[in-house]
Amino acid sequence: MSTSAGSARSDDNDDQGHNKHRDVDRDQRDHLLEREKEEFGGVKIGSAFFGWLTATGTAVLLTALAAALGAVVGNVTNTDVASQATQDPQQAGIVGAIILGVILFVAYYCGGYVAGRMARFNGMKQGIAVWVWAIVIAIIVGILGAIAGSQFNILAQLNSFPQIPNAENMTTAGIISAVIAVVVALIGAILGGLAGMHFHRKVDKANLVDNR
């Protein structure tokens, strides 16, 4: 009887020691992460730039894929998509806006993910930085296009977000569409940045499990 009681007390002591050791490891790891964040945290301009490149490339690929799918659907159903869009421009505009929104969200989610994954910390800030890169480059390209001519508007040729509104699309609908596109891209970039950072937090937690 006494042997069983002694064994139970020993197991309890082992469990307490094990839990205490695990808590110490977790505290040490948390402290190390804080020091790493202080040393290497903040907005990483280079990571954000590569995130913007990813977002732009993804937007171009998805736009081409959407156009190809539209052509395939038109051939299969034996319909002329262009003529239908001319006959019902309102419905075509709604469908186009939805497709564009999806493309922008996915593209800038990918861009934010790349930036957050590369930078490791401050995923939200990295996503916002990707979006800021897009705005800055759009302004520069827009100025160059206004000075040198529309043929130098690279973003318009790529059909990639964002573009600076001009006299042709400076309408209420055009402005609203541009604002929605900007907001969708920003949300996608932020969520992508957080997802990229979350990968590193999963690795950190795995380290804690291995050290138990």
Q: Does residue 75 belong to any structural domain of this protein?
A: yes
pLDDT for 126 equals 93
Domain that holds residue 116: 53-210
Burial 111-136 (b: 16+ CB within 10 A, else e): bbbbbbbebbbbbebbbbbbbbbbbe
Q: Does residue 202 belong to any structural domain of this protein?
A: yes
| Spatial separation of the C-alpha atoms in residues 47 and 116, rounded to whole Å | 8
Q: Does residue 147 belong to any structural domain of this protein?
A: yes
Cα angle: 87, vertex 92, 95; to 5 degrees: 160
pLDDT for 165 equals 52
Instruction: Walk along the chain (212 residues) and give the pLDDT tens digit of each residue.
Output: 445 555 545 555 555 544 555 555 566 666 556 666 666 567 889 999 999 999 999 998 998 898 888 778 777 777 666 666 666 666 767 777 888 889 999 999 999 999 998 888 888 999 999 999 999 988 887 787 777 766 655 655 555 555 555 555 556 666 777 788 889 999 999 999 999 888 777 766 665 544 54
Token match 């799918």: residue?
A: 69
Of 102, 134, 110, the residue nearest 54 (C-alpha): 110
Continuous segment of H or E residues that includes residue 1: none
pLDDT for 49 equals 95
Dihedral of the alpha carbons of 161, 162, 166, 172, in degrees to the nearest 10: 80
Of 138, 158, 172, the residue nearest 60 (C-alpha): 158
Inter-CA distances, 119 with 113, 114, 135, 207, Å: 10, 9, 21, 19
pLDDT for 108 equals 96
pLDDT for 187 equals 96
Q: For the chain, what is the domain count? A: 1
pLDDT for 130 equals 95
Q: Does residue 179 belong to any structural domain of this protein?
A: yes
Q: Does residue 158 belong to any structural domain of this protein?
A: yes
Q: Does residue 193 belong to any structural domain of this protein?
A: yes
Q: Under 8 Å CB-to-CB from 44, ≥6 apart: which residues?
A: 115, 118, 119, 126, 129
Q: Does residue 11 belong to any structural domain of this protein?
A: no
